A and B are shown apart, each in its own frame.
Chain A
Amino acid sequence: MTIASRTFWIAGSIMVTALLVWGWQLIADYGGIPPVFLPGPDRAFRALLSGFDGGELTRLTRATVERMIYGWILASLAGIVVGALIGSSRLAREYIAPMLEIVRPVPVSAFMPVVMAFLGLTGTMVLVVIAIGSIWPVLLATVHGVSSVEPRLMEVSQSLRLGRLRTLWKIALPNAQPDILAGMRIGLTVALILAVVGEMLTSENGLGWYVLQSARAYRSADLFAGVIVLGLIGLISNLALQAVERHVLRWKRR
Chain B
Amino acid sequence: MKLLKALVLPVALLIVWEIAMRVSGVQSDSLAAPSQIAVAFYAAMLDGTIPRRTAETLRAALTGLAIGGGSALVASIVLGLVPPVARLMQFSIEVLRPVPAVALIPVAILSLGFGYGMEISLVAFATFWPVLIYGHAAIANIEPQLLDVSRVLRLSTFGRVTKVVLPATLPRYFVAFRLATAVSLIVAVTVEIAANPLGIGYELMTASQSLHPDLMFALVLWIGLVGWGLNGALLLAQRRLFGPAAMAEIAR
Which A residues are within 8 Å of any B CB, using their own CB? 9-10, 12-14, 16-17, 20, 37-38, 94-96, 98-99, 102-103, 105-114, 116-118, 182, 186, 189, 192-193, 196-197, 200-201, 207-208, 211-212, 214-216, 218, 220, 223-224, 226-227, 230-231, 234-235, 238
Contacts and interface: CB of A to CB of B under 8 A. Distances in A.
Contacts of A182: 252
A13 B89 contact: yes
Nearest to A38: B111
A114 B208 contact: yes
A105 B228 contact: yes
Contacts of A110: 189, 193, 201, 204, 219-220, 223-224
Contact of B224 (A13, A20, A106, A235): A106
Contacts of B8: 95
A151 to B, nearest CB: 20
B23 interface: no
Task: Describe A's contact surface by its main secondary structure.
Answer: helix
A138 B90 CA distance: 29
B190 A94 contact: no
A183 to B, nearest CB: 10
B216 A227 contact: no
Contacts of B209: 113, 116
Interface residues of B, number: 57
A234 B189 CA distance: 21
A193 B110 contact: no
Given A38-B111, A193-B102, A105 B224 contact: yes
A229 to B, nearest CB: 9
Nearest to A101: B6
Contact of B193 (A37, A103, A197, A227): A197
A226 B219 CA distance: 32
Given A105-B231, A200-B195, A13 B98 contact: no
Given A113-B207, A220-B110, A17 B92 contact: yes
Contacts of A214: 106
Nearest to B99: A231
A132 B165 CA distance: 41
Contacts of B252: 182, 186
A117 B211 contact: yes
A96 B9 CA distance: 7
Given A106-B227, A214-B106, A234-B99, A197 B6 contact: no
